[in-house]
Amino acid sequence: MRWGLIGASTIAEQHMIGAIRATGGEVAAVVSSTAARARDYAAQHAIAAAGDSLSLILDDPSIGAVYISSTNEKHRDQALGAIAAGKHVICEKPLAMTVAEAAEMVNAAQVAGVTFATNHHLRCSGSHRTIRDLIRAGRIGRILSLRIFHAVHLPPHLQGWRINDPAAGGGVIPDITVHDADVARFLLGEDPHSVVAQMAASGMGQGVEDSAMSVWTMPSGAMVFSHESFTHPFAGSGLEVHGTEGSIFARGVMTQQPVGEIELVTAQGREAVPFPPHNLYVQGVTDFLAAIAGQGTPAATGPDGVASLAVALAVREAARTGTRQHVTYGRAA
C-alpha cells in the first residue's frame, strides 16, 4: 500500500510512519499547511514527496490510503476530500469538532465504499484485548463498574495547541476522554446514555480544560468513572473492572506502549494475567489493511469514533453546565 500523510505531526513521526513501514507500506507523500515544513519533515523521514496542497496526495492514483493526523479542526475537510478521491482513511481522534461532522465523514466513507478507521490505539493493545476476553468469558460475572485512570503529564513538546487553542480542538476532553469513551465501549460493549462531570484548568490549560472527572450511566446499569488530566506527573494510568464474581486490576495500560500488568481477583484468589506484547499502532494498521482486503473491520471503525466523540462532548457540556447530559450519538454511531 502507498500512503499519504495529511499532517506533519508528532504522532506520525513517533508511531505511525513506523507502523506503516512495518506492515509493508510505503509512505509516499506528506502534506502540511506549510510547504517548507512539509519538505523538512519529508527529508527527515525519507518521504519522497512533500507539499502544502492536498492534491499532491488526492490526485495521485497510486496512493491508496491516507493517515490524517493534523489538528482536530482540520480532520473533517481533509477526510471528506480523501474519501471523495477514493482513498481509504485512518483518521485521528477526535474525528471532528462536532458529532454531526464526524457522522458526515463516516457516512461519506460508507457511500464511497472506502474503508474508514478511527485511530483509537488502546483497543489494539494486548492488554485491553485480554481484559475484554476475560469479561466476555464471564470471569468476573455481571459488570458493576469500570474505573479509568488516565491522568498523565503532557510532555513539553506537546504543550502547544492542546493546552491553549480551543479552535484547533484543544483540551483534555477531546484529547483523552475520547480514548476513555472508546475503552468503555470496547470493554463493556455499550455506551453511556447520560453523564455528569466536572472539569478544571489546573495549571496547564489556557482557555481550555486540562483536567476532567466524569461518571457515566450505562444502559446495563453499570457505572463508569473516568479521570483525565494533562497535569499529573506521578499518577500512573490504569483501569479497574469490577463484577459480581471478580475484579480486574490493570495498571499502566493507558499508554502508547505495550506495557503494564493485569491482575484478576476472584474467590479463587489473585492471578497475574499475561497478555501479548505487540505494537499497538502496527496492530491498528494491520487490522485496517485486512479490512480493505475484505477481512473484518478496522480495530476502531468510523462509528466507534463518532460514539467516542459524542461521549466526550457530552462530558464537556455536563461539566460546563453543571447538569446531567444525555449523550446524542448521531446517525453513524
Give the closest residue to 250 by CA, choosing from 261, 237, 266: 261
Q: Does 125 bind ligand NDP (CB under 6 A)?
A: no
The conformation of residue 92, written as its DSSP 8-state character, comes to P
Tell me the number of residues near ligand NDP by CB under 6 A: 21
| Chain residues 76-115 in contact with ligand NDP, contact rule CB under 6 A | 92-93
Give the one residue of 20, 28, 32, 282 binding ligand NDP; rule: CB under 6 A: 32
Joined together, the cell numbers standing for residue 18 give 513506523
Reported as half-sphere exposure (CB side, CA atoms, 13 A), residue 232 has a value of 15
What is the nearest approach in angstroms of ligand NDP to the Cβ of residue 141?
32
Tell me whether strands 211-217 and 261-266 are parallel, antiparallel or unpaired. unpaired
**DSSP string across 246-312:** EEEEEES-SSSSS--EEEEEETTEEEEE------HHHHHHHHHHHHHTTSS--SSBHHHHHHHHHHH
Q: Does 119 bind ligand NDP (CB under 6 A)?
A: yes
Element (H, E) at 6: strand 2-6
| Chain residues 187-246 in contact with ligand NDP, contact rule CB under 6 A | none
Nearer to ligand NDP, 33 or 220 (CB): 33
**Taking CA 300 as the corner, what is the angle to CA 294 and CA 304, rounded to the nearest 5 degrees?**
115
Q: Does 166 bind ligand NDP (CB under 6 A)?
A: no
From the list 4-12, 227-235, 266-274, 300-308, the region that binds ligand NDP by CB under 6 A is 4-12
What is the nearest approach in angstroms of ligand NDP to the Cβ of residue 293?
23
What is the nearest approach in angstroms of ligand NDP to the Cβ of residue 92?
4
288: CB partners within 8 A, 6+ apart: 65, 88, 90, 115, 117, 298, 299
Q: Does 153 bind ligand NDP (CB under 6 A)?
A: no
Q: Are 323 and 149 in contact (CB under 8 A)?
A: no
From the list 63-71, 134-142, 241-249, 317-325, the region that binds ligand NDP by CB under 6 A is 63-71
Give the one residue of 39, 76, 87, 121 binding ligand NDP; rule: CB under 6 A: 121
CA distances from 56 to 35, 49, 51, 295 (A): 11, 8, 7, 30
Q: Does 158 bind ligand NDP (CB under 6 A)?
A: yes
Q: Are 249 and 265 in contact (CB under 8 A)?
A: yes
What is the nearest approach in angstroms of ligand NDP to the Cβ of residue 246?
30
Nearer to ligand NDP, 92 or 287 (CB): 92
What is the nearest approach in angstroms of ligand NDP to the Cβ of residue 140?
27
Summarize as ranges the residues that interact with ligand NDP (CB under 6 A).
7-11, 32-34, 37, 69-72, 92-93, 119, 121, 158, 160, 175, 256
